[in-house]
Amino acid sequence: MDATEIYTGLQQGTVDAQENPVLFSYGNAFYDVCKYLVMTNHVMSTDVFIFNDNFFNGLPGETQKILREAATEASDYRTKLVLDKEGEAIKTMEEKGMEVIYPELKGFQDKLNGFAKEFPDLEDMVKQIQSAQ
């Protein structure tokens, strides 16, 4: 379903639920048509800085270092900003009658034990993700 149709779909019962970031749900006033917000924290909002390899590698080393540091600083700032705004949005959605649920995540995590073994090509990526947590 197109994002522009989710609100109406929820309102009319075409769909029973939706899964999107907190700020997207808040910005689209899904609290008007959804009773619950389940905080599974299964998606991480990330920032990506993209440069053409030839361009970036052609820059002086000090410039590359400055760009990497600035990207990290900007990403950290944005992450804090998003978390602050999410907290405000959650509070407002609760005030508007939405019940916010924080489920026990261990059961979800337990179900994923051994996942990487089923997909050997993804094992390294899974280890990287787990070590970043």
pLDDT tens, residue by residue, 99-120: 999 999 888 888 877 777 888 8
Per-residue pLDDT at 13: 96
Element (H, E) at 61: helix 61-95
Q: Which two structure tokens, joined as six digits, stand for 9?
A: 């779909």
Per-residue pLDDT at 6: 97
Structure pTM? 0.75
CA separation for the pair 14, 58 (Å, rounded) = 53
Per-residue pLDDT at 129: 81
Q: Which two structure tokens, joined as six digits, stand for 52?
A: 């053409």
Strand partners, 2: none
Q: Which residues of the chain have pLDDT under 50?
A: none
CA separation for the pair 16, 113 (Å, rounded) = 29
**Residue 103, SS3?**
coil
CA separation for the pair 117, 5 (Å, rounded) = 39
